[in-house]
Amino acid sequence: MSRKGIIPIIISVLLLTGCGGIKNIQDLTYIVAIGMDYDEKEEEYIVYLQGLNFANVAKQEGGKPVEEVPSFVGTARGKTLNLAVSELYKKSEPPIYFGHVRTLLVSQRLINSKSKEVLEEIARNKSLRHTLRVVTTEESIEEIFSVKALFNYPAVYTVLFKGKTQGLAQNELQPTSLLHFLRSYYEPMGIAKLPSVSIDDGTWQADKDFPVLYLNGYSVYQQQSYVKNIPIDDAVFLDWLVGGEIAIDREVMDGEELVAAVKLASPKLKITYEKGTPSPAFTIELSTKADLLEKLKDVSVDELKKNLEENIKKEVMELYDKGVESKLDLLNAGEKWYRKHPKAFKKLKASNSFYLEKESLKEVKVDIQIFHFNSYEYDRM
């Protein structure tokens, strides 16, 4: 054989040997979520790793594996987060692999005592992608990591790993990425929020109660400090109001009487600021579309529209007032104001006081157009 024929064969052999260090899918423990907690008494960080091993998946030619995909939870302690994680490397075979981490779960105890230090450490850690989801909890991280999805699907099908809903989400919170949270967290005005997860034991059953995970509200921050948690109803309404990425169902009340149920989608929120004020003073204009879901009482379209607008106006004002009482700018009224009024913001920042009062919100205007009546007949007079 000529030299010209031998050279390509040698090159091919050398290229093939380059794959020798690649591990099989069943030879690694894939870490999909990291949990963080803090022991105040011992002054130690506690790290939890949620791992999956795909040995049973690799044995299948295709389709869903016959065996259950196991979920393992590893835990270790250390004086720093990095030292705690390093302890787990010594006790993990197959070796752990962090390339598929999708979720960071932080305990409320850690948020209350070490939120600033931990968030800054997370932000500078090159091993954690800024696209991963961040969630908080008041419950045991070990228990949450042990919960499987419905029909015994593995944990990666739970709400901890949920992606953005295609189209409009319905009456539920959307996941928050580390990048999106940190961008809001370092803003001088406005809030940053992280969804909170909890375990529900009573909704689903399979011979016995089957626990599932659900997002039950937000942990809210103002000016790089944790302030409080807000419940699921306020959290969903807030997301609908300022985010516009979800649709919500709402009762229509006429005084104390329920007259209809509607779905609200595609809100447009406009904040108009008064000029020459030392702090934000503003009017809110809200417009949205509504679909009639149920008709419970015969009222005209005008009455239905009027009652619905009054209900939503009341809800907006109550949410704003709850925020001011806790020194939270839930509607992010200050976010655009400080950019448009740099001199006033500089003076306000020097005073080191919260920039909103109940009187800062001058008026709320709501305009709702009902587009679909779901085959109900309505008196349009």
Spatial contact of 148 and 71, defined as CB atoms under 8 Å apart: yes
d(CA 47, CA 283) in angstroms, rounded, equals 46
Model confidence pLDDT, tens digit, residues 264-320: 998 999 999 999 899 999 999 999 999 999 998 888 889 999 999 999 999 999 999
Tokens of 140: 């045991």
The CA radius of gyration of the chain, in Å to the nearest whole number, is 26
d(CA 302, CA 186) in angstroms, rounded, equals 45
Show the domains of the chain with their CATH numbers: 22-243 (no CATH), 244-381 (3.30.300.210)
pLDDT at 215: 94
Listed in sequence order, the DSSP H helices in the chain are 3-17, 55-58, 81-89, 108-124, 141-146, 178-185, 232-243, 301-325, 333-340, 342-351
* Mean of pLDDT values over 243-259: 90
Spatial contact of 219 and 157, defined as CB atoms under 8 Å apart: no
Spatial contact of 349 and 270, defined as CB atoms under 8 Å apart: no
Range of lowest pLDDT (64-78, 247-261, 362-376): 64-78
pLDDT at 381: 46
| Angle between helix 108-124 and 178-185 (nearest 10) | 100
pLDDT at 60: 46
Range of lowest pLDDT (11-25, 107-121, 128-142, 175-189): 11-25
* Mean of pLDDT values over 24-41: 84
pTM recorded for the entire structure: 0.85
CA distances in angstroms from 135 to 36, 175, 198, 324, listed in the order given: 11, 8, 10, 25
CA distances in angstroms from 2 to 7, 14, 70, listed in the order given: 9, 19, 55
Cα torsion angle, 260, 320, 169, 171, sign: negative
pLDDT at 135: 95
d(CA 135, CA 354) in angstroms, rounded, equals 27
d(CA 95, CA 91) in angstroms, rounded, equals 9
* Mean of pLDDT values over 65-72: 64
* Mean of pLDDT values over 31-42: 91
pLDDT at 59: 44
Query: Distance of alpha carbon 72 from its chain centroid, rounded?
Result: 24
Instruction: Categorize the per-residue pLDDT at 54 as very low, low, confident or very high, splitting at 50, 70 and 90.
Output: low
- Strand partners for 96: 29
pLDDT at 365: 97
Beta strand pairing call for 29-39 and 96-97: parallel
Spatial contact of 284 and 323, defined as CB atoms under 8 Å apart: no
* Mean of pLDDT values over 178-184: 90
Place of tokens 């928050």: 176
Nearest residue to 358 via CA among 328, 337, 380: 328
Instruction: Categorize the per-residue pLDDT at 154 as very low, low, confident or very high, splitting at 50, 70 and 90.
Output: confident
d(CA 356, CA 323) in angstroms, rounded, equals 9
Spatial contact of 230 and 220, defined as CB atoms under 8 Å apart: yes
* 29 backbone dihedrals φ, ψ, rounded to 5°: -100, 110
* 320 backbone dihedrals φ, ψ, rounded to 5°: -60, -45
d(CA 215, CA 221) in angstroms, rounded, equals 18
